[in-house]
Amino acid sequence: MADTMNALVTGANKGIGFAIARQLGARGYRIWLGCRDEPRGRQAAEQLTANGITAQPIVLDVTSDESVDAAAKVLSARIEALDVLVNNAGMHFGFTPPTAEEPLDQMATMFEVNALGAVRVTQAFLPLLRRAETARIVMMSSGLGSISATLDMTSENWTVPMAGYCASKAALNMYAAKFAKDLAPDGIKVNVADPGLTATDLTGGMGDRTPEEAARVAVTLATLGPLGPTAGFYHGIELNDDLTRHEW
């Protein structure tokens, strides 16, 4: 096994992704920042490097087969194994009309990024993940992807529209469960993280937690020991390193 543990975080040049990268880097991982925009990726890597973290950008557009395959080839030539993959890249179009009026093209775009993008990246990097002794995959989802909460009149989800975004995250949860079942024989743990409503560019500054706080649940799942869980959906509301299960 290589002495240095490697972690790839998609959508890592800002927000929660950057915070995840910083926290994993502080734990000794060599960080690979998967970013669509190469200059922004370089800038983020320079910030981490200035804080004593080994970090390098890698161009990666989760919606493009060519981009993802190229990134996997580049990383395969540079490292022996990938220990952690955090599928963090995601997007939405803000608050939307009711489901009957929400544009289908916007729904399709969100599925391509939020759900299929994570599948595309995971499939491409599985050969590297299988070379690691204890690989971990984290899917960054949302409490809005919980069907149980959506149907609960006492939940804050009850009044949220955004059907396309919610459905894309629910689909991501199912893909994570399927990956967890498939990869269990390889010793690869796959879990889903809900960071909670966080003040980032994606939320327009809404949220009562910082990216650093929101990142903690993902970092906990990315660094699970051999007895840690797999195929779970967890949130970090308590803002500690314990895991609390979410309702699917």
Q: Which amino acids are annotated catalytic?
A: 165, 169
Q: In angstroms, rounded to a whole number, what is the distance separating the alpha carbons of residues 144 and 129?
A: 29
Q: In angstroms, rounded to a whole number, what is the distance separating the alpha carbons of residues 178 and 6?
A: 24
Which burial class, exposed, middle or buried, applies to 233 when counting CB atoms under 10 A from its CB (0-12, 13-18, 19+)? buried
Q: Which of 62, 47, 19 is nearest to 200 (CA)?
A: 19
Asked whether 144 and 229 are in contact (CB, 8 A), the reply is no
Q: Could you tell me which residues are beta bridge partners of residue 56?
A: 32
8-state DSSP, 4: S
Which residues neighbour 39 within 8 Å (Cβ) at sequence distance 6 or greater?
A: none
Q: In angstroms, rounded to a whole number, what is the distance separating the alpha carbons of residues 117 and 63?
A: 5
**CA-only gyration radius of the chain, Å:** 17
First to last CA, the chain: 36
Tokens of 44: 């983020």
Which residues neighbour 142 within 8 Å (Cβ) at sequence distance 6 or greater?
A: 165, 166, 169, 194, 195
The neighbour count for residue 196, using CB atoms within 10 Å, is: 18
